[in-house]
Amino acid sequence: MINLELPKKLRASANQAHQVAAEIFRPVSRKYDLAEHEYPVELDTMAAMVEGLADSGTQDISGATGGRKAGSGAAAGDDHATELLGNSNGGNMSALLNALETCWGDVGLMLSIPYQGLGNAAIAAVATDEQLERFGKVWAAMAITEPSFGSDSAAVSTTAVLDGDEWVLNGTKIFVTAGSRATHIVVWASVDRSKGRAAIKSFVVPQDAPGLTVSRLEHKLGIKASDTAELRLEDCRIPADNILGSPEVNVEKGFAGVMQTFDNTRPLVAAMAIGVGRAALEELRTVLEQAGVEISYDTPANNQHAAAAEFLRLEADWEAAYLLSLRAAWMADNKKPNSLQASMAKAKAGRMGTDVTLKAVELAGPLGYSEHTLLEKWSRDSKILDIFEGTQQIQQLIVARRVLELTSAELK
């Protein structure tokens, strides 16, 4: 028998996250959508709550950091559905479910929760034990994208040069989520441009480091509660031991260390899209029922109202994305390579999120297009979830390489 019921310990954490989404995020969602770049003061309460949960050993409710290290749980047996939620660690799974619930409330606010930035996932994935002691409680943003490239993370042109006991960083990073609010930035930079992607390393840069400046904040289509910054590093100096992982350049290994971060964060971004999608489906169901449209699971879709048939299609698509994401997180928790599954989850959920939210606006008619509901906002928020952490096209390329067993040089 396949049992996909959540374990009790995961349900408790997810329920806490849902309460936060319903009682803190939803009531102010429209407020901060209309007040871009204004700091959500309500999140100060969240910061204290998250810190208290972390200190008590309870999983945080934001879902941004995942487990201590990627795949730190015990190895599991065969990969099949009966084991899907039966892992011994559960950090990635819990983070995924919490991200889903909080984004059911508001994606932008979830991305703004203090001390739970995407850079924290990078620290958790590749930091040494000593670095975890120093950076375990910082608020870390992630800075990868540059003006000259988007999803091709191997094209990093920001440089890091070792000068005595300090690294000197130079470059520009754009579209940095929480870039102006976070206390630290995880910056991707090359330690030797002549050695290509193998020389790309990640560095923890304090917000007050000399040479680091926030040059501007972006105006965006959605997730307006979240600040998105452009950062400039001009002879920015940080301690030599702020490089995550080993400073040695291993040409054969490539930059698998820094890329490991994506195997953990892509399922989380998928979960964000799943959370927004579920919110839109719930609102759409209410709108359709109020309009007298009955949705039946016992009657063939082609014998139902066209809107009901479309709702069933959207809901099935949502379910597929949800299960793919659960599988990717389970694999991370059980030390199974999940690069393929992480990209599958991200690709499916990203496309599902935009499809579901836009169709919800369409089926709700003028009500969906107005600000009387949050449907139009969710349709704007969902688009970024199909873009950041690797676009839809990049995810499909990764999936194709894994399935066909081709290298990046063989399939571009």
Q: CB of 99 within 8 A of CB of 275?
A: yes
Which residue has tokens 């297009």? Answer: 369
The strand ranges marked E within 17-147 are 140-143
Question: At what angle are helices 118-126 and 256-290 packed, to 10 degrees?
Answer: 140
DSSP state of 300: -
List 101, 230, 315, 389, catalytic entry: 389
Give the separation between CA 248 and CA 137, rounded to whole angstroms: 26
Which residue has tokens 């994606």? Answer: 107
> Six-digit token pair at 291?
């309009």
Residue 10 vs residues 6, 93, 142, 185, 392: alpha-carbon distances, Å: 6, 8, 27, 30, 29
Which residue has tokens 């919800």? Answer: 360
Verify whether residue 389 is a known catalytic residue.
yes
- Please name the residues in contact with 196: beta carbons below 8 A apart, sequence gap of 6 or more: 154, 251
Secondary structure of 141-169 in the HEC alphabet? EEECCECCECCCHHHCCCEEEEECCEEEE
**Beta-carbon neighbour count of residue 230 at 10 Å?**
20
DSSP state of 130: H
Residues 173-207 as b/e (b if ≥16 CB within 10 A, e otherwise) read bbbbbbbbbbbbbbbbbbbeeeeebbbbbbbbbbb
Q: Shortest CA distance to 70 belongs to which of 110, 14, 127?
A: 127
> Six-digit token pair at 69?
């290290």
| Strand 184-190 to 140-143 pairing | parallel
> Six-digit token pair at 105?
């409330």
Q: CB of 377 within 8 A of CB of 301?
A: no
> Six-digit token pair at 47?
């910061």
Give the separation between CA 159 and CA 233, rounded to whole angstroms: 10
CA R_g for the chain: 21
Positions marked catalytic: 389
